Structure 1
Amino acid sequence: MTSVVLAGGGTAGHTSPLIATAEALREAGVDSLSAIGTSRGLETTVIPAAGLELDLVDPVPLPRRPSVELAKVPLRLGRAVAQARDILRRRRADVLVGFGGYVSLPAYLAARTMGVPVVIHEQNALPGLANKAAARFAHTVAVSFPDTPLPKAQFIGLPVRAAIADLARTGRTAARVEARAALGLDADRPTLLVSGGSQGARSINEATVAARNDLLAAGVQVLHVWGAKNFTDQALVRDETTGAAYQPVPYVPAMEQAYAAADLMVGRSGAGTVVETAVVGLPAVFVPLPHGNGEQARNAVASVEAGAAVLVADAELDAARLVAEVVPRITDPDTLQRMGEAGTTLMSPDAARQLAEFVRAAQRPRRRRGVGHGAA
């Protein structure tokens, strides 16, 4: 029996590749899979929904500035490491796979003290603190983007859900008619997908509404995914001359369907969006989140350099800029084809399978680690 424990949580950026990797590990014959998270993150709902048992440790936020909270970190970290050790021992873990976030650091440290091999996946071009720390002693370090600055980094791309990988293999063209019908879109119109991610993006939403009439006048239909918290009394709008429609929705349950329906996407450049659009060959206009340490802009670099996407700074996005970036591209089939092909050559749909292979290769015979599993 092989037991793999996966650690990651907080946001979809951590949980989505975790779930995709778990799918691949199941297919590879791993018979015991579980996850470690905290009570604060998205993992409390999406991990059990994916059929994984979830164990919780106390969250250990890492303040960036000196404060009372920073002084509490050593005690909190020690408690979380002890909790993670108990979980790894109870699960009889053969390998720990970490995806970053608050939960990963105590899990990494617990695994190291117990002799449990660690496999890391870093989804962003700029790595987080937990993965930076653990990369020094990890068995394998896999990354989503070329040139991610981590020791021993191996570029494999980002593990994506089976539905996304399947779309990449069959092609968006084959799925387009059915996807547009399911989403209430016209079958033959240039189609723009706008999405700011699961939480939405105010600046992108505002620019899209301001550009709506010009886009519809150009014959471009728009599927605008607002994000549930931002969606209020938005209504369908149709241009009487061209017949093109603006269709606002709070969310799309199956993003692979939206990807298949679209000719071009406007959105943030979180790792998941950047990799998924490249994998399925969907050209994109990326508007990086202007906060944090700049990881979203870095995430988009490889796609932009390959010609699969263009980058617009958040401060520069308005209605005129959005129309100028979208209309010439979405109405030019040759441009769309070149951009789509550039993406598919950049990113593989098989990252989850490759990461699963790394995990299986990291496993050591259990009898050689008996002391570690029983250590106090």
Structure 2
Amino acid sequence: MKKKIILTGGGSAGHVTVNLALIPKLFEQGWEISYIGSHTGIERELLSKVENVPYFAISTGKLRRYFDWNNFKDPFKVMKGTLQAYQIIKREKPDIIFSKGGFVSVPVILGAWFNRVPTIIHESDITPGLANKIAMPFATKVCVTFPETLEHVKGDKGIYVGAVVREELFKGDANKGFEYCRFEKEKPVLLVMGGSLGSKRINDVLRANLQTLTSDFQIVHICGKGNIDPDLINYKGYKQFEYVSDELPHLMAMADIVLSRAGSNSIFEFLTLRKPMLLIPLSKGASRGDQILNARSFQKAGYCEMLIEEDLSNESLLKAIYQLYRDRQKYIDNMKKSEANDALSKLLALINESSQK
């Protein structure tokens, strides 16, 4: 009889990528897989492209650290989602639940706890997100990407596994990237990523300096849903996409340097691929400050340049990009010294071990 696992996580691509990396490995081991996500989150779109993984949508409310009138009604959405998740888990009878975090994961972890199904949570950032903080007491194990995160996990639940990187990224073909973007191979390529939801601030400042930048670089800009600028569709040396999936490994292989937010999953992918990076983390005013901690950790290790969003201007952006490109070999050499770890195998072993208890 096949073992069954339910995966969950969503709200942003970062809360789905580890699950996408796990799915082919789980299939190889003979697992039966299903997914619980939200009705409208990016996880539903990404999972629609994966065969043989049934998707169950539940109600979910956003968990906020600030005042918002929705804070009064969203707990009821979470309660509804918990009941829905409880019923799905009771019906599907999984051996284990694996959660990548995000708001949708809280009802699923609670539903699993009520069903007495073991759960594993994966936390990517140095400090746990609010959803994972709420879910941790109900989890069986909590896997972390940074060793420092273990300080935030009570008891003996915490396990350091390192960063999970999707295997398909290693199969990127730079030639296919050049062909996809219709770029020339003689000119360096800057890859700009603002996260799956995009970044208006980065988009605006980058586009304000296209004339200068495209004189020296070709730019691939993954700008987020609804953020395409129609006036720049035919701009020479500049290609913009809302979101990229299958072609991303080729675009990464083609890139000489990267400008990005500082989400943990993305920056570890750049590290693994040895891509010098300029990180502009989300400001504390727009987040809990986790990206700032991520970027500082990488900066301390010599993997990146860092530019605080409050300091972002035309002048500071241009200065940082050109400095990064000029010193790119220094960052590549530092990244080559990083300790590689097989986090995916560790996760798979833990899933198998925990499901047998």
TM-score range, shorter chain: 0.7 to 0.9
62-71 vs 184-193, which deviates more?
62-71
Q: 233, 242, 249: which is aligned to 2:231?
A: 233
1:201 aligns with: 199
Residues 12 and 197, structure 2, Cα contact 8 Å, conserved in 1: no
4-13 vs 64-73, which deviates more?
64-73
1:339 aligns with: 331
Unaligned residue ranges in structure 2 (runs of 5+):
none
CA RMSD of aligned residues (A): 2.6
Q: 270, 286, 305: which is aligned to 2:300?
A: 305
Residues 276 and 324, structure 2, Cα contact 8 Å, conserved in 1: no
1:83 aligns with: 84
Residues 59 and 80, structure 1, Cα contact 8 Å, conserved in 2: yes
1:184 aligns with: 182
Change (3 A) 1:63 1:261: closer
Residue 154 (1) aligns with residue 151 (2):
no
Residues 65-214 of structure 1: pairs in structure 2 closer than 5 A: 69-72=70-73, 75-148=76-149, 149-151=152-154, 152-167=157-172, 175-214=173-212
1:97 Cα shift? 0.7
CA distance in 2, matches of 1:40, 1:237: 33
CA distance in 2, matches of 1:37, 1:136: 21
TM-score (norm 2): 0.87
1:363 aligns with: 355
1:309-365 Cα deviation digits (max 9, x unpaired): 1110112122221221122332x4xx3233134335547474333222211111126
Paired letter, 1:364: Q
CA distance in 2, matches of 1:146, 1:301: 15
Q: Secondary structure at the match of 1:147?
A: helix
1:69-106 Cα deviation digits (max 9, x unpaired): 54556654443323222211221110111111222222
1:124 Cα shift? 2.5
Change (3 A) 1:74 1:320: closer
1:270-321 Cα deviation digits (max 9, x unpaired): 2232121112111100111221111221222322111111110112122221
Paired letter, 1:233: D
Residues 278 and 303, structure 1, Cα contact 8 Å, conserved in 2: no
Q: Secondary structure at the match of 2:137?
A: coil
118-127 vs 195-204, which deviates more?
195-204
Percent identical residues? 27
2:62 aligns with: 61
Residues 165 and 349, structure 1, Cα contact 8 Å, conserved in 2: no
Residues 111 and 118, structure 1, Cα contact 8 Å, conserved in 2: yes
Unaligned residue ranges in structure 1 (runs of 5+):
168-174, 239-244, 366-376
208-217 vs 10-19, which deviates more?
208-217
1:236 Cα shift? 4.5
Residue 275 (1) aligns with residue 268 (2):
yes
Q: Secondary structure at the match of 2:186?
A: coil
1:5-59 Cα deviation digits (max 9, x unpaired): 11212221212222222222223x1321001112131222222322221112221
Change (3 A) 1:292 1:15: same
1:180 Cα shift? 2.3
CA distance in 1, matches of 2:64, 2:320: 38
Residues 279 and 347, structure 1, Cα contact 8 Å, conserved in 2: no
2:30 aligns with: 30
TM-score (norm 1): 0.83
1:262 Cα shift? 0.9
1:115-158 Cα deviation digits (max 9, x unpaired): 21111101222212232233335332112233123334333334
CA distance in 2, matches of 1:196, 1:66: 26
Residue 221 (1) aligns with residue 222 (2):
no
Residues 197 and 268, structure 1, Cα contact 8 Å, conserved in 2: yes
1:39 aligns with: 39
CA distance in 2, matches of 1:118, 1:145: 20
Residues 193 and 264, structure 1, Cα contact 8 Å, conserved in 2: yes
CA distance in 2, matches of 1:222, 1:146: 35
80-89 vs 287-296, which deviates more?
80-89
CA distance in 2, matches of 1:360, 1:184: 45
Change (3 A) 1:346 1:136: farther
CA distance in 1, matches of 2:87, 2:225: 38
**Pairs aligned (count):** 347
Change (3 A) 1:16 1:214: same
CA distance in 2, matches of 1:326, 1:104: 37
